[in-house]
Each structure stands twice: as structure tokens, then as C-alpha cells.
């Protein structure tokens, strides 16, 4: 079973780091977008098992993309979301109305990131095995 991830990140270095970290995990298919508008368009077209959004992206920021997907009737309305941020305050106290499931700091900590991804994948596999969506 392929685990589909949408990565919305405008920084090419961070894109490469994430791709490199995910390359060590079998069964992952990553779609990368460079800005919030592309991310929203991709998320409206096909379902993903996990979406990873940078907070500060061109055109539409990560929170706005997530809010739009959660509020609408999109195929990714209930998809788990990781939000990357370099803003320390958001890590201590997420903004009210934050729709992310997990908030992770930038720069990315490799082992922590891989652990989170593996945990989400294990949870997704468990719900599929038990017929829970």
C-alpha cells in the first residue's frame, strides 16, 4: 500500500531535506508544491494520507490552506496535517483556531520528523486493517 504525502514548501533546501528523510521509508509517494495556491489545488484534486505545510508560503499561507480544506467538502477534509514553522511562539502556544494536527519546528530535526511520519503511517495502516477510515 502506497502512503501519499503532499508537501507544500517554498524553500528548496527544506524540500530536499524532507525528500531525503522520506526516501528512507518504504512505500511513500511524495507530491511537492512550491506555494500555498499549488498546495490547495493539489489537495482539492486527489486524496492524501498526510499533508505537510510550511506556515509561511507565497500566495496562501499554510493555515489558510488548511482552514479552506477543513471547512469545505474536500477529499482531504480529515487528512492529518503537519505544519512546519520557524516561529517559536506558535510551537509554545498554537494560535486559536489552528487546524494542524502536529506543529513541528524548522529547521527540521531528522529523527523526530521520521518518527512522526512513521507514527502517522502506522496509525493509518491500523485504521485500514480494522476497516476504520
Residue 53: CATH number of its domain: 3.40.50.2300
What pLDDT, in 10s, does the model give residues 45-101? 999 999 999 988 888 888 889 888 989 888 999 999 998 888 755 555 554 454 568
Helix axes 62-71, 36-45, angle to 10 degrees: 20
Spatial contact of 76 and 67, defined as CB atoms under 8 Å apart:
no
pTM of the model: 0.86
Is residue 82 a contact partner of residue 105, using CB atoms and an 8 Å limit?
A: no
Write the pLDDT tens digit of every residue in 2-35.
Answer: 999 999 999 999 999 999 999 999 999 999 999 9
> What is the residue range of 69's domain?
3-129
pLDDT at site 105: 87
How many structural domains comprise the chain? 1
Residue 133 has pLDDT above 50, yes or no: no
Amino acid at each position: 500500500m502506497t502512503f501519499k504525502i503532499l508537501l507544500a514548501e517554498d524553500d528548496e533546501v527544506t524540500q530536499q531535506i524532507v525528500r531525503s528523510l522520506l526516501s528512507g521509508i518504504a512505500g511513500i509517494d511524495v507530491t511537492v508544491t512550491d506555494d500555498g495556491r499549488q498546495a490547495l489545488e493539489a489537495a482539492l484534486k486527489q486524496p492524501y494520507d498526510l499533508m505537510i505545510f510550511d506556515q509561511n508560503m507565497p500566495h496562501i499561507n499554510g493555515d489558510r490552506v488548511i482552514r479552506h480544506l477543513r471547512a469545505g467538502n474536500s477529499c482531504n477534509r480529515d487528512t492529518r496535517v503537519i505544519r512546519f514553522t520557524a516561529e517559536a511562539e506558535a510551537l509554545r502556544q498554537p494560535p486559536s483556531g489552528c487546524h494542524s494536527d502536529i506543529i513541528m519546528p524548522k529547521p527540521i530535526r531528522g529523527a523526530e520528523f521520521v518518527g512522526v511520519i512513521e507514527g502517522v503511517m502506522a496509525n493509518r495502516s491500523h485504521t485500514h486493517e480494522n476497516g476504520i477510515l
